[in-house]
Amino acid sequence: MKPKVSNNLIIAMLLPLAVGILSSLFSDSAVQAYAMMEKPAASPPAYLFPIVWTVLYLLMGISSYLIYRSDSPYRNTALTVYAIQLLFNFFWSIIFFSFSAYLFAFVWLIIMILLIILMIFFFYKIDPAAAFLQIPYLLWCLFAAYLNLSVYLLN
């Protein structure tokens, strides 16, 4: 007998993917201009970004599902912080790519990183596995902060 995949899990995985897709639609034409900018030596190739973000969004969705299905008193707070950081995630690429506001995007990203850390803290109280699933996201955003600041300084 096949295990049944929960509709809530599917929704939880699709939500961050949808946020990422919508955000990229609002900043897609500007991403092409990014290719022409001076970037730091550690900047990965462009094809890597959608792959990494897809994996990160799926991990975020699974992680949020683990929190959603819990009956912890911290559940609503954790999911609220998750939603806020997801909103910050949505707007970062628009601020960076569409508006070319590199310094503001960097500050926005630092706030987002702080929200991610807070989210991981609450997730850990509820389900350590959910928190650990967010660690790659945090690390990628720290790397993104380095890239963002470097682009600001180089351009």
Distance CA(97)–CA(100), nearest Å, equals 5
Examine the pLDDT at 137 and tell me if it is beyond 80: yes
Question: Predicted confidence band at 29 (pLDDT cuts at 50, 70, 90)?
Answer: low
First to last CA, the chain: 58
Averaged pLDDT, 74-99: 96
User: Nearest CA to 151 among 109, 88, 89, 90?
Assistant: 109
Q: Which residue has the higher pLDDT, 120 or 37?
A: 120
pLDDT computed for residue 12 by the predictor: 97
Averaged pLDDT, 40-50: 91
Q: Is 3 helix (H, G, I), strand (E, B) or coil?
A: coil
Record the pTM: 0.94
| Residue type for position 134 | Q
Q: How many residues does the chain have?
A: 155
Q: What is the CATH number of domain 8-31+44-154?
A: 1.20.1260
User: Nearest CA to 141 among 99, 119, 109?
Assistant: 109
Report CA-CA distances (Å) from 147 to 61, 80, 102, 125: 25, 28, 10, 31
